[in-house]
Every structure is written in structure tokens, then in C-alpha cells.
Amino acid sequence: MTHPAQPKASHFINGEYVEDTAGTPIPVIYAATGEQIATVYAATPAIVEQALSTAKAAQKEWAKMTGTERGRILRRAADIMREHNHDLSVLETYDTGKPLQETLVADATSGADALEYFGGLAASLTGEHIPLGEDWVYTKREALGLCVGIGAWNYPTQIACWKGAPALACGNSMVFKPSETTPLCALKVAEILIEAGAPAGVFNVVQGMGEVGGALVTDPRVDKVSLTGSVPTGKKVYAAAAAGMKHVTMELGGKSPLIIFDDADIDNAVGGAINGNFYSSGQVCSNGTRVFVQKGIKEKFLARLAERTGNAILGDPMDEATSFGPMVTENQMNIVLGYIKKGKEEGARVICGGARADMDGYYIQPTVFADVTDEMTIAREEIFGPVMSVLDFETEEEVVARANDTEFGLSAGVFTKDFTRAHRVIGNLEAGSCFINSYNDAPVEAPFGGVKASGVGRENSKEAIKHFSQVKSVYVRMGDVEAAF
């Protein structure tokens, strides 16, 4: 019998499901059991061509609609998404293995927030009038044209919406390629947009690996590329886009610092560290995986952290009581287990976890290492799994320098009751998305993105509009034209 997660077809182009079984088969594996639940096929060159030509043609008409009309469609899509939140969350759980306890509140709901927010902004994308005596200049905020979105596997619904909603609000069309690991959810986003009244061809989904992504990025018809992925992929995609002088948004990886001062509220700091390391089993780009704890509260912090981490409920992700799910794939599990082994070999102290969980599926115990030093591999590389490194520090100056000593710059957090210090420390940290006495909140109203190797551009908020539109300036002369000859 066909599994309920199996989509009608692999791709969604011009308002309908499209199949081409000549593409490489991509198995969809449910991470909690290892069972194959669906198959999709990578886009063939013919499918890529169909998606790009359709999106290119649809964009012109879409951009001619008023912002109010486009916004109404996006807001209707947000409502439909919320109505179907439970089914979409179940699908997200099948796609990623993340517990339903999380997907019910963080995936389709976040996607719906983006559709609603950018739907609301669509009507207010105006230009300026610049008086110059009798003459004047006016500016228009125009769409970029055809945008390509490429997603990572940790938040498939959210990523499709965080890219699709601002792109469409500005009058662009999009071809979206989900991660080959989680190909299911973006198809639902495309279906919902059509149901909400979006013209066919405005938002299309094609499946495939890096090769398909590469074909999309290098096509001369494409005006903008927005990627969520790792730094190595980001460097390749950025270079390919630059060769065609295309706009880019790069949402890449991180190794973010979370700094906890002696005066912090211990339970809030522990809660921040748990949210910043173990949500989605640690598969979150902005995670605060280098937890710097001031020496005075170190042992108290570790004891409370171990106690609370012991309360994680590993189990069937479809059971709403489960609070900690498997890694997305066997491969990702093995990568993370490799880092845990390295952490032990390099002398870090295991406070809790430190091994695969004794159950079916790709589960790793939530793991905390203490006595981690700056040179250790687990303190330098992005692990993308449930592995927290706790490092000691003594002074503010020292911790800021050490926190910044990384190629990454996605996020940073600080826990302290001293607000002057909190703002000073955040001001000195090289990161794009920061938190004071909190960690990993990502409301659509706030800009999200990194500095240094962690990325270029911002998603969400009014900032995203700047990255999906461009300004045309028009000089208007009222008098005669003077010329030298």
C-alpha cells in the first residue's frame, strides 16, 4: 500500500504535479524507523527547463498585479496553512523525523507567519519622491524577476515559505528546490499557494541533488538565488551566481557562542542552552553550540543542565509526548557520532549522553561535553547534531575575543542580569542574529541571517524585501534640455 507521505508526483510546475521517472530516484526515509516512505525523482534537464520557462513567463503578469492583490493571496495561503497545520506537521515529521511536539508549533506555523507578514507588506512597497527644484526624481521598488530558492533539510516547510513569501510579495516568481533529504513539504506549499489563488507558474518546485541546484543557479534567466545550506555549498553557489551577476541571499552554517555570566539566572541560562542545542536534535543553523560559562557558576550550571537534559523524552516522533527525535539520516547520525568520538579522544569530559540511543531509528542521546577548549574539533566545526560544548571563561574581554575567533558569525547569545554588560557584549560580538537572556527565537518580524562565512543578506522582516527587490530611479525634467552643442 502506498504510504500517505508519498506525493502525487515529484515536481510541481505551472500549477500542477508533474512526473518524469527518467530522473534519478530519490528515496525518502523516515528517520524514526529507517523505513522508505516515498520516492521522488530528480529533475531531468527537461523538467528544469519546464520549471524555469514557466516561472519566467508567469512573473511578468504576477508583477503587474497590485501589491494588495498579491498580498491577499499570500494571506489566504497563510490561513489555509494554519487550517491544515496538523496534517502539514505530520508530513514535516515524516520528512525530517522531528517530533510532532515541535512540528506542530514551529514549521507550518512559521511558514504561515511568513506568508501573512509578507502578504501584509506587499501593498506598501512604494518608492520615493525626491524634489529637485522644478524637476524631480521618483523611485520605484521593482521585482528582481525569476528567483531560485534552494533549501536545507532541517525546516523544509519553513524554508520554502521564508524564501517564497517575500519573493512573491515583491512580484517575483520562484523555482524552489528542496533538499533531496526532505523533498515532501515544499510540494504542499506550492499546492496551497494555488488553492489560495496564486497564478500557475508563480511558485514551482523541482526535486534533485546539487546538480539540479547547479543547473538552476547558472541559468541566465535566473535573477536571484537564495540558498539555505552549509558554508562549502554556499561558497560554490555564491561563486556560480556571481559569474552571472545574480543577486544572492546566503543562509549558511554557524558555530555560535552562548555566553553565560556568573550573575545569570541559572534555570533561564540552562533553558537557553537546551533550546540552543537540542531543539530539532541540534539540527539548527543558529544553535549556540559553544556555551561559554563563567567559572563561578560552572559546576552549578553543569549539574542543573545534566539534570534537565535527563528529562528529554526520546521516542516515537508522532507521539506528542516525545520531546527529542532522531537525526534526519543515518549518514548525519554517523557524522555526529564521529564528532562525539573526537570530543572524547581530544579530552573533553562527557557530562551526559555521548552515544547512539539504544532504539530503532537514527537517535543520538543529547550530549554535553565540559572542559572543552578552543582548539578542540568539537569547538571549531559545525556538528549539526545534539552535541553541546561547554567552555570555561573568566573575564568579559577574554570571552568576547574567544567567541569571535571563528570563521562563522550567524548567532550569539548572552545571559546576565547586568543589562549594561549584556548590550556591551552583544555590541562586540560578530554575529547577525543575537539574543539577550534568550536563545533561538526567530519571529518573522526580526531580520535573520549571518555575518562572516555564515552568510550574505537577511531573511524575514522588512530587510528581506530589500533582498527580493531593486530600486529604479527616474529623473523627470520639467524645462528644456541644455547641451554643450
Among 209, 306, 335, 426, binds ligand NAD (CB under 6 A): 209
Strand order in the sheet with 469-476: 129-132, 135-143, 469-476
Binding positions for ligand NAD, 28-47, rule CB under 6 A: none
| H or E stretch at 37 | strand 35-41
Annotated active-site residue 195? The verdict is no
Among 50, 103, 154, 367, binds ligand NAD (CB under 6 A): 154
Whichever of 270 and 412 has its CB closer to ligand NAD, that residue is 412
Whichever of 233 and 469 has its CB closer to ligand NAD, that residue is 233
Among 217, 248, 337, 368, binds ligand NAD (CB under 6 A): 217
Q: How many CB atoms lie within 10 A of CB 299?
A: 11
Whichever of 127 and 447 has its CB closer to ligand NAD, that residue is 447
Closest CA to 17 of 145, 185, 206, 165: 206
Find the residue with minimal CB distance to ligand NAD. Answer: 213
Q: How far is the CB of 52 from ligand NAD (least distance, A)?
A: 14
Write out the DSSP string of 334-365: HHHHHHHHHHHHTTPEEEE--SB-SSSSS-B-
Residue of 161, 170, 285, 434 marked active site: 285
Among 116, 223, 382, 396, binds ligand NAD (CB under 6 A): 382
Whichever of 73 and 225 has its CB closer to ligand NAD, that residue is 225
Q: How far apart are CA 74 and CA 266, in angstroms?
A: 42
Q: How many residues are there in the chain?
A: 485
Q: What is the DSSP letter of 42?
A: P
How many Å is the Cα radius of gyration of the chain? 23
Strand order in the sheet with 387-393: 349-352, 367-370, 387-393, 290-294, 257-260, 411-415, 433-436
Q: How far apart are CA 335 and CA 342, in angstroms?
A: 11
Annotated active-site residue 64? The verdict is no
Residue of 251, 255, 352, 382 marked active site: 251
Among 97, 183, 213, 354, binds ligand NAD (CB under 6 A): 213
- Classify residue 5 as exposed, middle or buried by CB count within 10 Å of its CB (0-12, 13-18, 19+): middle
Q: Is 158 in the site for ligand NAD (CB under 6 A)?
A: no
Q: How far is the CB of 409 from ligand NAD (least distance, A)?
A: 11
| Contact predicate 163/114, CB 8 Å | no
Q: Is 184 in the site for ligand NAD (CB under 6 A)?
A: no
Whichever of 125 and 148 has its CB closer to ligand NAD, that residue is 148
Q: Is 153 in the site for ligand NAD (CB under 6 A)?
A: yes
Q: Is 396 in the site for ligand NAD (CB under 6 A)?
A: no
Q: How far is the CB of 45 from ligand NAD (least distance, A)?
A: 15
Query: Site map for ligand NAD, 339-368, x if CB under 6 A?
Result: ------------------------------
Binding positions for ligand NAD, 440-479, rule CB under 6 A: 450, 455
Q: How far apart are CA 29 and CA 189, in angstroms?
A: 20
Q: Which stretch binds ligand NAD (CB under 6 A): 226-234, 296-304, 337-345, 476-484?
A: 226-234
Size of the site for ligand NAD (CB under 6 A): 29
Q: Which stretch binds ligand NAD (CB under 6 A): 7-15, 59-67, 224-232, 300-308?
A: 224-232
Report phi then psi at 170, rounded to 5.
-85, -5
Cell triple for 417: 542580569
Q: Is 406 in the site for ligand NAD (CB under 6 A)?
A: no
Query: What Å distances lie between residue 222 and 16, 34, 194, 243, CA to CA?
Result: 21, 37, 22, 12
Whichever of 258 and 285 has its CB closer to ligand NAD, that residue is 285
Whichever of 70 and 177 has its CB closer to ligand NAD, that residue is 177
Bridge partners of 149, per DSSP, are: 176, 226
For residue 107, the Cα-to-chain-centroid distance in whole angstroms is 11
Query: Site map for ligand NAD, 245-274, x if CB under 6 A?
Result: ------xxxx--------------------
Among 233, 289, 440, 469, binds ligand NAD (CB under 6 A): 233
Cell triple for 480: 528644456
Whichever of 24 and 268 has its CB closer to ligand NAD, that residue is 24
E strands, 323-459, in order: 349-352, 367-370, 387-393, 411-415, 433-436, 455-456
Query: Site map for ligand NAD, 97-136, x if CB under 6 A?
Result: ----------------------------------------
Q: How far apart are CA 163 and CA 152, in angstroms?
A: 12
Q: How far apart are CA 231 and CA 104, in angstroms?
A: 29
Binding positions for ligand NAD, 273-302, rule CB under 6 A: 285
Strands 146-150 and 173-177, sheet pairing? parallel
Annotated active-site residue 235? The verdict is no
Q: How far is the CB of 152 from ligand NAD (least distance, A)?
A: 3
Strands 25-30 and 35-41, sheet pairing? antiparallel
Annotated active-site residue 92? The verdict is no
Q: Is 214 in the site for ligand NAD (CB under 6 A)?
A: yes
Q: Which residues bind ligand NAD (CB under 6 A)?
A: 150-154, 177, 179-180, 209-210, 213-214, 217, 228-230, 233, 236-237, 251-254, 285, 382, 384, 410, 450, 455
Residues labelled catalytic: 163, 251, 285, 459
